[in-house]
Structures are given as structure tokens and as C-alpha cells.
Structure 1
């Protein structure tokens, strides 16, 4: 019986995901531009944009189109890091925008609970704020008007 319980727990953990993936109606570049625009309008700082496919190409390798936008609110991030400095490993926030193997553009980011589970963050209100912001940013960023 104990073995069965452990096996069930193992499979539940495999199916649980701290990663949220959403489809974008836009190209990778349009989605990245939308994210940056939304983030700036919210008064957040954009720290970096990493072009993964260009970096792969620079070393003679191929990769589907993929860019990551790193951004955040230094006041909120600092408060989280004051609770647990190792939260700095997962901050600033980031959204990966990529084209999947079917040619669809997707946006991926970690659920804010990742911070709480891996960094002993006790501020559930802050985690909820992060989740709400990421949800709103990606909803808007993935909408493109087509003629």
C-alpha cells in the first residue's frame, strides 16, 4: 500500500507544472515588442532581451525562433530577496517567447508559486501579485490584430 501511495505521489508531481504556456496570435518579434510595451507602460524595468536563436546561429547551430524578455519591479524584487536572497536566482521575471515544432508562437513563464516553493517566500500576497501581472501581460501581448 505504501508503495502505491508513493507511486501516486510521484505521478502527481510529474503532472504538476510550475510552468505556464500560452499561445500567441502574433509572431515572436511582435509578441516580444508587445511584452516590452506593456511592461514599460506598467512602470516596470526591462533588464534584458536574449535572442536564443541568434546565439545558437552564432556558434553554427540551429534553434527554433526563441527570445526571452527579462523584466521586473526592483522594489518588489528587493522585498522578495530580503526574505530570501536566493530568490535572486529566479529574478528578474522572464517570459520566453518561442516558435514550437508546429510553427505556433508560445509564451512560457514560471508560476509565481515557484518562488514561494523554492525560496521560502512567505509573502503570498506578493506571489499573487506576480501571478496576476504575468497573466495580464501575456494575455495582452499575445493578441494581434490581423486584417
Structure 2
């Protein structure tokens, strides 16, 4: 004989599970719809799509569950170049990035705005910053979006730096090969900022941005911190020529970005920092 209490408990459990599943599906749909609208807006604004990365589905394919999270990366060399003329290190936060994601069951949109790059890279070219913000808001005009937090942000916040004796071309080649030797890594592309600038008649130091990521470790790191998919994932590795020779390699401190967005960090963030630093050192040394 089955107890009625047990039956009611089972029914309640199934109802709650079904409701949670429906909510999750609804939020995923909203995240997807927001991303599709942003892609259309990018096209209408005349910007160039660079990468559209579905963090959560890539992670799920590797057996890792995380909230819905999709980042859109798009570019405009005419906007990038004046910013880079003042400080090539700003390339770590270029080109434009917008994240559509699920935060505690609520679809949200967050983006990297001009204030973020101004503070992090000590920029003072008001015209360049205004052009950056204007183009970004042109894309976001119909979106309920919020800028990335800047409370606690300061110059060079959360940037890990390594030095190489190799030229940018040689170092990029070694880094690309070393990164892709990792069997859990996906390559998303690279941007040669100096070449783009030269087409506009502007000379920049050799500066290249590499874009890649590990869906499984990234998914673990984002599981309770989905907003860091804006800055920390995919991985962005900037290589630029040092004025005294050789090159400089900079990348994001994942734990620092988690603390910026959420006020705390977790072991996977620190573990990934160690892994990335060790991997890049291999390519440099």
C-alpha cells in the first residue's frame, strides 16, 4: 500500500522539477532571442562580427552544466584605432563585447563600455571614447542592457603581464601552437590591430589579439559567475611590441574579474589563472 503523503510528495517534486525546467528553457530562449537581436543590430550598425560564442552549449557538449550565456564580439577598426593610438594595451578590451546571460533565472545583458576601458587603460582621448560609446549604444539602442561594473576598477586592474624576447610575429606563432596543443581548447580567431590601423593610414606598434577558450574549464568557472563570460571568456591574449625590443603578453586575471562582477572569486578561477600563466610561459621560454 502506497502512503498518500509519499504520493503527494512525489507529485510536488515532479511539479517543481517541471516548473524549474520550464523556467530554465524560458530563460534560455530569452538569452538566445537577445543575442539574435544584437547580431541584427551589429549588422545594421555596419560593424564587423568577429565571434558569437555560446558558452553554455559548448560547456554542455563537454559535460559541464552552467547558466545560459552567449557573448557577441564585433569590431570597427575606425573606432578601435584612435583608442589604440593612445594605449595599445586597451586592445585587451577591444573590440566591442556584449553578453546575453542568465543570472539567477533572469535574462540579462551586460556590455563593456567606454568608462570601463577609460579607467582600466588610463585613457584621456575624449573624442575616441565618445565614438566608442556612440557606436556601442547604436547597437544596444533597443536592449535593456547594463555596463560592466567599474566600482573598484583602476588602471591595469586584473591584468597579468609576461615579457618575451621574441618579436610579436614569432611570439604569436608560438602562443597559437602552444594553446592549440591543449586538447580541451577551441580557437575563435585573432585580430591584427596594427594591420587594420595601417589600412587607415595610422602606424601602431605590432599588436595582435588572440581569441580562444576551453569550454569545459570555462564552464566550471562560469557556473556560479556567468557574467564573467563578458571579460574572461573567451580567453583574450594581447601581444604587442615593446619599445625596447621583444614583446609583451597580457591577459585577464579571471579571479579579479569575478571579484569585480560578484565581489568574490572561487577556486576554479585561481586554478585557471595558474594554468594559463604556465601555458603561456611555456610559449615564451
Which of the pair has the greater relative contact order for Cα pairs under 8 Å at 6+ separation? 1
Match of 2:257 among 115, 130, 135: 115
TM-score computed with the length of structure 2 as normaliser = 0.42
Structure 2 unpaired stretches of 5+: 1-152
Q: CA RMSD in A?
A: 2.3
Structure-to-structure mapping, 1:2-81, within 5 angstroms: 17-43=157-183, 44-81=185-222
| Residue 67 of structure 1, CA deviation | 0.6
Structure-to-structure mapping, 1:94-105, within 5 angstroms: 94-105=236-247
Residues 162 and 249, structure 2, Cα contact 8 Å, conserved in 1: yes
Q: Secondary structure at the match of 2:166?
A: coil
Size of the alignment, in residue pairs? 131
Residues 255 and 265, structure 2, Cα contact 8 Å, conserved in 1: no
Aligned-partner Cα distance in 1 for 2:199–2:263: 38
Structure 1 unpaired stretches of 5+: 1-12
Moved more, 14-23 or 96-105: 14-23
Aligned-partner Cα distance in 2 for 1:103–1:85: 38
Deviations 1:59-82 (A, max 9, x none): 221110011111111123234444
In terms of Rg, which structure is larger? 2
Aligned-partner Cα distance in 2 for 1:15–1:88: 21
Aligned-partner Cα distance in 2 for 1:47–1:121: 29
Cα pair distance change 1:142/1:125, threshold 3 Å: same
**Residue equivalent to 2:66:** none
